[in-house]
Structure 1
């Protein structure tokens, strides 16, 4: 399958970095927050696909962050194969996070998806959705990621927060 989008590793990392920074700022503004720890550079948590630990009055929640620039499509891109040539499982399929924070960085719209409930629903319905392959260039090479385009309005149980409103309040 020919990829329809091409990215560079730098572009991918820039989106991820911006998403992490803005989400961490948002979490620190929440009255229930006791602490936020960025785990992105910790190999143990990388293997579990967990980016943040968010400590609240109700406990510690593990968070996976997915930054995206394609709000206008109306879809989420749920990664099912991370690297096609290695046949490695996509992050959406194995993250051990309590929540996936799917963040549309240009609109500053955060979608909080409860896991594993969202993944269980997805696994029951994934054959209904269009598969898409995207490529990412790394140095002189390239790898291909496979995901499903899932209409946002079909995913139940999510919470949506507009972070630009919080910026104006700060």
Structure 2
């Protein structure tokens, strides 16, 4: 049991807080119990929803890969994506940290992130580098952009034909 405090700490002893794997329960002094879910759930059941840092990235991802039409993108929905096309081309996104949840990516298409001049961080989790369809996938992104890849796969990325041009920008990351 945890202790909660209200205004000036006066009601700290009048609230009982307990939890289980799914919910947090607040029992008030009058016996009222308030239940709050510990995580967001999708209609698919036990798959959590990705919390996007950039609203533009979320809007693009939801528009293209929200398969259950809940206006959210779950980890499960992201993991099923195998290819990214021109959806982000020319946008003002600065980071796509959430790309790390797209664990099924095996190809990034022509111009997928071209002209995203503010894009500085790309997190790519596949241990085998996804195929880049041509040399314009990341054209005109920020010149100081960093590609975060699995630490154990840095050499795989730096030596993959399509990724060689970005070798100096590839950094290992423990996902």
TM-score bucket of the superposed structures, by smaller chain = under 0.3
**TM norm structure 1:** 0.25
**TM norm structure 2:** 0.25
Write 1 or 2 for the structure with the bigger share of helix: 1
Q: Which protein shows a greater Rg? A: 2
